[in-house]
């Protein structure tokens, strides 16, 4: 399958998932490695709390990271969202 055809299929799948969002701005995201999805599509949500932090909504890209990275993703008031690589070491998410 060609590179552009694979990307078109991913984009079309994301569009269909975005239509299921309950918010006015319908977004969806998926994590991709190379040209292959490594997670399932996630839509934005009206989530009030995420990991103990109050926020107005959870963007689709943030939800995709949280779903895929799970316990390796943490929040710091000083640094924001960070990946935990080794015990006690954080790497900022940019």
Which domains does the chain carry? 3-69 (3.40.140.10)
Q: What is the mean pLDDT of residues 39-62?
A: 74
Tell me the per-residue pLDDT of 60-74, one tens digit each, with 9 for 90 and over: 887 888 888 877 777
Q: Is the pLDDT of residue 43 over 60?
A: yes
Length of the chain: 94
Neighbours of 74 (CB within 10 A): 14
Q: What is the mean pLDDT of residues 7-17?
A: 90
CA distance 52 to 57: 13
Q: What is the mean pLDDT of residues 6-24?
A: 88
Q: Is the pLDDT of residue 49 over 70?
A: no
Q: What is the mean pLDDT of residues 45-59?
A: 68
Provide the token pair at 88. 């006690």
- 60 or 13: which leads in pLDDT: 13
CA distance 45 to 73: 19
């Amino acid at each position: 399958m060609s590179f552009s055809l694979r990307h078109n299929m991913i984009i079309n799948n994301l569009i269909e998932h975005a239509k299921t969002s309950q918010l006015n701005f319908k977004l969806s995201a998926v994590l991709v490695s190379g040209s292959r999805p490594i997670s399932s599509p996630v839509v934005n949500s009206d989530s009030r709390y995420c990991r103990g932090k109050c926020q107005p909504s959870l963007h689709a890209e943030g939800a995709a990271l949280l779903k895929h990275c799970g316990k390796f993703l943490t929040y710091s008031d000083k640094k924001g969202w960070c990946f935990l690589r080794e015990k006690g070491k954080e790497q900022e998410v940019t």
